[in-house]
Structure 1
């Protein structure tokens, strides 16, 4: 009986504390609505011991046993965090030692360390059952160091002359040089071009994947990408091409968009993120400045992939630790920005457990699914809010306030307005937002921490604890809720009657 009494007593408080969230309008899903979880297959999850040849988890450059079945087994884990797509490092057959997938030996086979073609097809089917998309990494720039073509006289002109890149700003050197000594394919050769395009189309037809992340885009001629994009997209509607153009100048990156590539990995934003969010009391203005550039230079700025780290960079956690910061609070704050700012958030596996790691290969450690889940639970909140609120995926983006690391942003889509407050300082901050910046006479309903800010005649006063964030929806003031009060009175009346009859029954039995 005690449990029933407690539940009845708590009901009105639960009703009172509930904050309604505006329902997302039913609109056709686009790529800017996605959130991507990025997986290095070999370092993620080992579910098939039969393909564990050469595995040595103590060798940072060796195979660690992750496979496609392991990814399939964790689809629910990924979806529960709010991710709607996965991106896999290359799964094509590599030469020995190519645990990462970038030393391709055969463009038409699945690497046996990762499983079989059937395993890949199963993964895609299971992902699609969960309304998740699958992106494969496609490498068109080079092959592995010892590819059989290198010893084939008939394919001598399939590669550029072996030369290093001395001036990375020289476009000719960038496109023709051998990166890290990897044999550089001559895409201007019609046979090479046809082979790569046919292979890319074949994987789509065979497995029904949804997109490619294109590796080393700047090292391949733009004329190739123009034809590649056209032919690949003819196979499947709404197929995504997400390009990696590793450069600091957004104008240089954006130019590749003229050749059919839909979106790009946003390295300029990554640079701003690592500068501002790996330690406290850093201005967040550089993050917004990147968006201003993106709006100016890109045709589709909402299709830029935003990220904290990846398999080619030092882990975000390592940067935070180097700055003597708590990596958990730093990661939560940084993800708050990624999930609320324009772009497609891409999270590298292990970020959800604040995985540490320096330069390659230390940034590719084996995933630990038994680690603390504090960040995971936070990501689930972020993912759910991004799903529920179209303004966080499609809305415009305005900076309302920024001072020394305390920032307030506004996103608006149709009739929905959200306000994102991020305190990147070491102290609690109070910010005043005027009626000119936000519609007067409303209230801000906090969705991460449950804060409630009511406007007064001067505007809104937002108070945010240090190193935390809050997402607000702008809504009409609740005022006096007559139906709620009536329901509250009724509940207490029923509770009193329950106690009366319980006491009366107790007397009869004694």
Structure 2
């Protein structure tokens, strides 16, 4: 039954797309990916045998999530349209290091999560679904009780203990200071540099992962990243490095691109997104008016929240808004503008939470499916239309929460309209903005706008969005008729088989 249903959906989707909207992505680029970000311990408990010292009622202890639990939910993630997963650190951690950032052994999987073999299975199963896998690779510090601390031969592996002060800090203080009291590694030491690089290469060779996210990338010297990126990228073609900036700091992002870091998780852009979409009637101007400090927008990691921030849902609730509507609007923008969407687990159920550890709540798979279905639909369009991931972007209209913008790639034109206001809105696009004499075919909500006097009038109710493709005016479409005939035949065959089984 599932197979027949999938065939029907694909036939109808294919018949509804204009011919020039079928520009094939022969080879997926990283800017085409949509990443589902998982805190392993809080996602899904698939193996009770590794529930060591687990206390699901304690937000500061291990709660039971593991690698097997992720394997069990790969289809769930994949069916929502995600093409990659990113995992918090999987390495052996100190007691209660559920988050993975208190590393004790860079060459061992934490026993609470599983084994090297189980992780290799996860990567293989993801690749079977044409999904990529990224893991966090910690380079800035180790656990407070790491064996190296007491090793007299490794005292110069660490910077002198000195906390990073609150407020504005200089780069040297960031690179040398101890974050949260954790021993800060001295990457200028050749032995430390070699150890970290060799460990990273080992994980690529042993597990065939596709990328790494690098926590506190700006707390580590650029000179280290130059060598690190050069070495690890030789291990696998198109290996991807995503740097995660430490919060409350700002720096020139261009220098990280020059050092081989492909993408940056930048909190300043996330804050603009949250401010724009938590409520209504906000201009989009802050989101597109600057170059984001020189970063390549096609590879920028776009996110609403993550394991370091409060949940975006908490912003919505604080403004007394309905989470489902605000999330839908925000995700349409995230999925249809340049950059790589980085989607924090639990977003699909509008998981709420304040600061750490409240933002790291356990995932539930028994929630309302309305938002999940919407994400699936938007994800399918992102994966189908190359203009949404590779096209140029031009803002055509932006007024107090109503925005219309255009993405163009190799003859495919998408028009995205978002009404994030408190009432219905109408926008008229002229032939100077969009080629006249055609029609805008809505693929998200099914709207269709035919050109009249070479103009297009878009009308959207509040809290609604639409993703249009520019197409020739509809006439008798024999491909659609043929598709419908096939659909009816399949339905008849399906009903016939059910009746036959009942007999």
Structure 2 equivalent of residue 147 of structure 1: 146
Structure 2 equivalent of residue 349 of structure 1: 345
Structure 1 equivalent of residue 291 of structure 2: 293
1:204 Cα shift? 0.4
Structural mapping, 1:44-443, within 5 Å: 44-166=43-165, 168-246=168-246, 252-289=252-289, 292-294=290-292, 297-298=294-295, 300-443=296-439
Structure 2 equivalent of residue 481 of structure 1: 476
Q: Summarize the Cα distance change of 1:251–1:395 in structure 2 as closer, same or farther, 3 Å threshold.
A: farther
Separation in 2, partners of 1:53, 1:338: 38
CA displacement, residues 423-446 of structure 1 (integer Å, 9 cap, x when unaligned) = 110001001111101101111000
Separation in 1, partners of 2:438, 2:352: 43
Q: Summarize the Cα distance change of 1:432–1:249 in structure 2 as closer, same or farther, 3 Å threshold.
A: farther
Aligned residues: 473
Q: Of the candidates 454, 462, 465, which is equivalent to residue 466 of structure 1? A: 462
Separation in 2, partners of 1:81, 1:485: 26
Structure 1 equivalent of residue 451 of structure 2: 455
Separation in 2, partners of 1:321, 1:132: 33
Structure 1 equivalent of residue 493 of structure 2: none
Structure 2 equivalent of residue 20 of structure 1: 17
CA displacement, residues 454-478 of structure 1 (integer Å, 9 cap, x when unaligned) = 1111511100110111000001111
Contact 1:245 1:253 in 2 (8 A): no
Separation in 1, partners of 2:12, 2:367: 34
Q: Summarize the Cα distance change of 1:145–1:248 in structure 2 as closer, same or farther, 3 Å threshold.
A: closer
Contact 1:444 1:454 in 2 (8 A): yes
Uncovered stretches (5+) of structure 1, i.e. residues with no partner: 1-10, 491-510
CA displacement, residues 392-439 of structure 1 (integer Å, 9 cap, x when unaligned) = 010011100010110001000010000000011000100111110110
Contact 1:43 1:367 in 2 (8 A): yes
1:254 Cα shift? 2.4
Separation in 1, partners of 2:121, 2:415: 41
Per the normalisation by structure 2, the TM-score is 0.90
Uncovered stretches (5+) of structure 2, i.e. residues with no partner: 1-7, 486-503
1:16 Cα shift? 13
CA displacement, residues 224-255 of structure 1 (integer Å, 9 cap, x when unaligned) = 00000000001111000000124678761222
Structure 2 equivalent of residue 34 of structure 1: 33
Contact 1:317 1:356 in 2 (8 A): yes
- SS of the aligned residue for 2:41 comes to helix
Per the normalisation by structure 1, the TM-score is 0.89
- Say which structure, 1 or 2, has more relative contact order (CA 8 Å, 6+ apart): 2
Separation in 1, partners of 2:481, 2:90: 61
Contact 1:168 1:174 in 2 (8 A): no
Deviates more, 1:261-270 or 1:213-222: 261-270
Structure 2 equivalent of residue 501 of structure 1: none
Separation in 2, partners of 1:18, 1:161: 65
Q: Summarize the Cα distance change of 1:411–1:357 in structure 2 as closer, same or farther, 3 Å threshold.
A: same
Separation in 1, partners of 2:14, 2:70: 38
Q: Summarize the Cα distance change of 1:281–1:51 in structure 2 as closer, same or farther, 3 Å threshold.
A: same
Separation in 2, partners of 1:321, 1:368: 19
- SS of the aligned residue for 1:293 comes to coil
Q: Summarize the Cα distance change of 1:17–1:230 in structure 2 as closer, same or farther, 3 Å threshold.
A: closer
Contact 2:252 2:294 in 1 (8 A): no
